[in-house]
Structure formats: structure tokens, C-alpha cells
Chains A and B, each alone.
Chain A
Amino acid sequence: MKATAQIKREAKRLYQLCLVDGSLNEKRATQVVRLVIDSKRRRSMPLLKHFQRFVRLDREAHTANVETAVPLPPDLQTDVQARLKELYGPAIQTEFSLKPALIGGMRIKVGSDVYDGSVQSQLATLEKSFEP
């Protein structure tokens, strides 16, 4: 338990070393991974697992996943990207994807923030209103 906490702390420190202006630097991250592998330490694998988790969380926090039921027009894509950069900073990366199950509207997920204006979510809210 104590060792796990220490590995977590070390992984977080490595992750913080990879940040440049508050954003994850991919080169540094790759370099850190290689260094850890080359060091052949006994606890390299657990350390890399925790490091990977921090990197994944960082990517999620700096990646906006935009889902729509139909392909989003280019002008709207540009508008959404601009709004996301304004809100989450210029480092935010935007990924657009199709999800017909949404029926209509758009669903944007950035980290733990969710902006859901899809017809599917509105129908889900309507269905919940019938629950006791």
C-alpha cells in the first residue's frame, strides 16, 4: 500500500515534468517512458501504468469529443472548435464523430464536462419523468 502510494507520487512527478505551459508535451512524455524502460528498475511497470493513467486523463481533459447524429457542417465545426479553445485553452484538441443514436443535436465531452443537447438525452429526460 505504501509502495503503491510512492509509485503514484513518482508517476505524478514524471507527469508534471512533461508539462509545458500547462500542456502535455508528447516528446517529453515519450522520453520519460524510454528512460524509465531503460533504467530497468524493479518497479518500472507499475510506475509506467500510473504514468499512462495521468497521460490518459490529461488527454481526456485536453480533448473535446464532439458527437453528432449527422455530419456537422464545416462552418459549425469551426465555430465549435473556436468556442472550445476559448473555454479550455488553445491546447484543446477536438475530435468529431458520428453517432446516429443521438437522433439529433450534438454531444460534447471534455474531460468530466458534458454538454449534451442531443434528442437522445432529451428523450431520456422525458422517459425519466415517467419514473416514480
Chain B
Amino acid sequence: MLNPDILLAAQESSGQIEKIASTFGVDWPQLLAQIISFSIMCAVLYRWAYKPVLKMLEERRRIVALGQANAEQIKAELARTESMRQDVMAKANAEATRIIEEAHAAAGRVQDSETQKAIAGAEQILAKSKEAASRDYERMLTELKREVGRLVVQTTASVARKTLTPEDQRRLAQETAKELQA
């Protein structure tokens, strides 16, 4: 059940298309041949040119994405390494501080010990010096006494030789003779 109005309109428009086509010089078979050849060319281009180019572009995109991913990974790795470096540096600083403190403490102990040793050595030297001085004093005193004794005896002998009278000599001899008793 076709509408007669529509049929009429269709016949009328067909006529118009042919009119327009003839106006613009359209040659339908030639147009069709050109459409087919263009389609074939498009297919060939798509198959042998466009597809490899797309593939290459896809490959480049993938490589770039991979590079970016690697860059991100490297960045993260760098950050992690930096963090580790910071940790290591902090530990090293702490260890260095501890070692320095221990060294200071050890140096303090060594200093105390050496000071005590030096004090003990000084006291020992002092005691030895006192002892030596005391010995020297005793020796000198003894020598002095001996010398004084020698001088006293020498002087007394010299004086006695000059001052002893014959009476003194007799008295001395008598005193010795008195010792001769049974």
C-alpha cells in the first residue's frame, strides 16, 4: 500500500538528481570506477602503509610509556636510595657520635690513669729523694763526727804533748801501775 504522494515525490526527486548530475557533468560509470579504484587504493594503503605506520606509532608509544615507567621506577629507586642514604648517614653520624663519646670517655679514663701514675711516680721520686737526702745527711753527719773526732784527738794529742809535765807523766804511770793487782 504505497502512498501515491510518496511515489510521485520519488519520481520527482529522481528526476531532480539526474538533472543536477547532468548539470555538474557526473558520469555515473566513471564515478563508479573511480570509487572502486579509490577503495582499492584505500585498502592497499591501509594494508601496506597505514597499518605499519600505526604499528610503528604504537611501538613508539609503548617504548615511551615504558621509558616513562622506567623513569618513574628510577625516580622511586632514587628516592628510596636517597632515603637509605639518609638513614645510613644518620646511622653513621650516630655511630660516629657514639665512637667520639667513647673516645672522649676512654681518653678521660686514660688521662685519669696517667695522672694517677704520674702522681704516684712523682711521690715515689719524692720519697726516694727524701730517702737519698736522709742518707746523705746521715753520711755527712757521720763523716763530720768522724772528722771532728779526728781533729779533737789530733788537737788534744798536740796540746797534751806540749802541756804534760813530768809530774803528770809520773801520775799517769802510777795510775797504770795501780792496775797491776792480783
Partners in one complex: yes
The answer to whether the Cβ of A91 comes within 8 Å of any Cβ in the partner chain is: no
The answer to whether the Cβ of B160 comes within 8 Å of any Cβ in the partner chain is: yes
A113–B81 Cα distance when bound, in Å, is 114
Task: Let me know if A103 and B179 touch, CB within 8 A.
Answer: no
Chain B contact surface mostly: helix
Task: Let me know if B173 and A76 touch, CB within 8 A.
Answer: yes
A87–B148 Cα distance when bound, in Å, is 40
Interface residues on B, range: 20 to 34
> Provided the pairs A130-B145, A132-B142 are in contact, do residues A83 and B177 lie with their beta carbons within 8 angstroms?
yes
Task: Let me know if B173 and A105 touch, CB within 8 A.
Answer: yes
Interface residues of B in 44-96 (CB under 8 A from A): none
Task: Let me know if A104 and B149 touch, CB within 8 A.
Answer: no
Q: How many A-B residue pairs have CB under 8 A?
A: 86
- The interface bits of chain B over 164-182 (1 if a CB of A lies within 8 angstroms of the residue's CB, else 0) are 1010111011111101111
- The interface bits of chain A over 81-113 (1 if a CB of B lies within 8 angstroms of the residue's CB, else 0) are 001101100000000000000011111100000
**A126 interface neighbour in B146, B153, B176, Cβ under 8 Å:** B153
Residue of B nearest to A103 (CB): B160
The answer to whether the Cβ of A38 comes within 8 Å of any Cβ in the partner chain is: no
Interface size on A, residues (CB 8 A): 32
Residues of chain B lying within 8 A (CB to CB) of residue A70: 166, 169
Residues of chain A lying within 8 A (CB to CB) of residue B172: 104-106, 117-119
Residues of chain B lying within 8 A (CB to CB) of residue A126: 149, 152-153, 156
Task: Let me know if B161 and A103 touch, CB within 8 A.
Answer: yes
10 A-B pairs in the complex with CB atoms less than 8 angstroms apart: A69-B164, A83-B180, A104-B164, A108-B176, A117-B172, A119-B172, A124-B153, A126-B152, A127-B152, A130-B149
